[in-house]
């Protein structure tokens, strides 16, 4: 991790749309707010880092007003992937003690120059221990971010691995991924993402975001997703549940009595009510029940309740 340094570079406006959001309930725009910009010169978006920068101030305001945190000074607020600070400049005005994390040193330097006083770290968000970070920041974290799309699921699964330390996450992601996360049983989008996130959080799609408000424009439509962590995880060993989910959804057209056969040890049979069903027909809670039927109901105190389990899915 590297803490920001400064170097005094100038900024060029990328896309002018600084009309502000107006409507009630939205955060007041900081007085000296600039429209989303990229620093001049060498700060070209890197595709390898999923850099699609927000370039429309109306959407910036709409996104920021969908986010709430009540910690003192916003000490619990962590922005993942601030880039050139489109969201950060609005958030920092409201949450002066927030923190931002980006892997790109150009972002870290640029933010140090343009938002002095912001705590900004250069780090891979996938290498952060969010449980330790929450302890250091004095409470459960409120995460916000326009996530790099190529690692969105990994980031969100990782937050589930630290579910006790996360209060909420409000994130921009591909609409298609958001739809899978909120999908109910019995539809084609329903799968591992739906089961896992619905066991840990109350997921909601807040609104869609068109590709035209990013630079460069991605090929897909995006969405703002809100994940309210419930503070509870599934009441079963997470490793066992993961095995059941990956095995069942690997062959999603097959009935569970067929697809889950490799997991059944001698003497163990599937509950009759599940055996002729396909995985998409089970609710998240029924997957927990099914896991207990296959692997037994382990003593909660014996379960490995920390460490990465979901992230590697």
Ligand X SMILES: C[S@@+](CC[C@H](N)C(=O)[O-])C[C@H]1O[C@@H](n2cnc3c(N)ncnc32)[C@H](O)[C@@H]1O
Cα–Cα distance, 14 to 9 (Å, whole number): 15
Q: Give start and end residues of each alpha helix (H) in the chain.
A: 57-65, 88-94, 105-114, 130-137, 152-161, 175-182, 192-200, 238-250, 256-259, 272-275, 284-295
Among 35, 39, 74, 81, binds ligand X (CB under 6 A): 81
Judged by CB under 6 A, does residue 102 bind ligand X? yes
Among 33, 103, 205, 206, binds ligand X (CB under 6 A): 103
Cα–Cα distance, 279 to 290 (Å, whole number): 11
Is 54 labelled as part of a ligand binding site?
A: yes
Q: Strands 201-209 and 222-229, how do they pair?
A: antiparallel
Measure the CA angle with vertex 63, ends 61 and 64; round to 5°.
65
Is 58 labelled as part of a ligand binding site?
A: no
Among 15, 29, 53, 56, binds ligand X (CB under 6 A): 53
Taking contact as CB under 6 A, which single stretch among the options 5-13, 119-127, 134-142, 233-241 is the one that binds ligand X?
Answer: 119-127
- Helices 152-161, 192-200: crossing angle, 10 deg rounding: 40
Between residues 36 and 203, which has the closer beta carbon with respect to ligand X?
A: 36
Judged by CB under 6 A, does residue 125 bind ligand X? yes
Judged by CB under 6 A, does residue 297 bind ligand X? no
Q: Locate 117 and state its tokens.
A: 């006083």
Judged by CB under 6 A, does residue 233 bind ligand X? no
Cα–Cα distance, 156 to 196 (Å, whole number): 10
Between residues 35 and 233, which has the closer beta carbon with respect to ligand X?
A: 35
Judged by CB under 6 A, does residue 82 bind ligand X? yes
Among 4, 43, 52, 237, binds ligand X (CB under 6 A): 52
Q: How far is the CB of 112 from ligand X (least distance, A)?
A: 14
Cα–Cα distance, 246 to 244 (Å, whole number): 6
Instruction: Kindly list the residues in this chain that would bind ligand X in the complex (CB under 6 A).
Output: 49-54, 81-83, 86-87, 101-104, 107, 124-126, 146, 148, 151
């Amino acid at each position: 991790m590297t803490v920001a340094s400064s170097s005094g570079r100038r900024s060029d406006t990328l896309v002018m749309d600084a009309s502000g959001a107006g409507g009630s309930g939205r955060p007041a725009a900081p007085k000296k707010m600039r429209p989303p910009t990229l620093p001049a010169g060498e700060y070209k978006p890197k595709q390898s880092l999923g850099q699609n920068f927000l370039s429309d101030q109306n959407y910036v305001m709409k996104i920021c007003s969908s986010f709430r945190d009540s910690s003192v000074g916003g000490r619990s607020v962590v922005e993942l992937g601030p880039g050139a600070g489109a969201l950060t400049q609005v958030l920092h005005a409201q949450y002066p003690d927030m923190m931002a994390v980006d892997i790109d040193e150009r972002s870290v330097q640029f933010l140090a120059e343009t938002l002095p006083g912001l705590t900004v770290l250069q780090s891979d968000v996938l290498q952060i221990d969010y449980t330790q970070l929450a302890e250091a920041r004095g409470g459960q974290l409120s995460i916000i971010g326009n996530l790099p799309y190529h690692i969105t699921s990994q980031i969100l699964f990782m937050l589930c691995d630290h579910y006790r330390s996360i209060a909420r996450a409000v994130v921009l992601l591909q609409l298609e991924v958001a739809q899978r996360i909120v999908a109910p049983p019995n539809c084609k989008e329903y799968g591992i993402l739906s089961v896992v996130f619905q066991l840990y959080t109350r997921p909601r799609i807040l609104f869609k975001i068109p590709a035209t408000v990013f630079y460069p424009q991605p090929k897909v439509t995006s969405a703002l997703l809100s994940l309210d962590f419930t503070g509870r995880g599934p009441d079963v060993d997470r490793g066992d549940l993961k095995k059941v989910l990956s095995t069942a959804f690997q062959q999603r057209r097959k009935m569970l009595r067929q697809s889950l056969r490799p997991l059944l040890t001698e003497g163990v049979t599937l509950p009759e009510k599940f055996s002729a069903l396909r995985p998409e027909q089970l609710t998240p809670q029924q997957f927990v029940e099914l896991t207990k039927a296959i692997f037994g109901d382990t003593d909660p105190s014996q379960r490995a309740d920390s460490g990465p389990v979901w992230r590697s899915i």
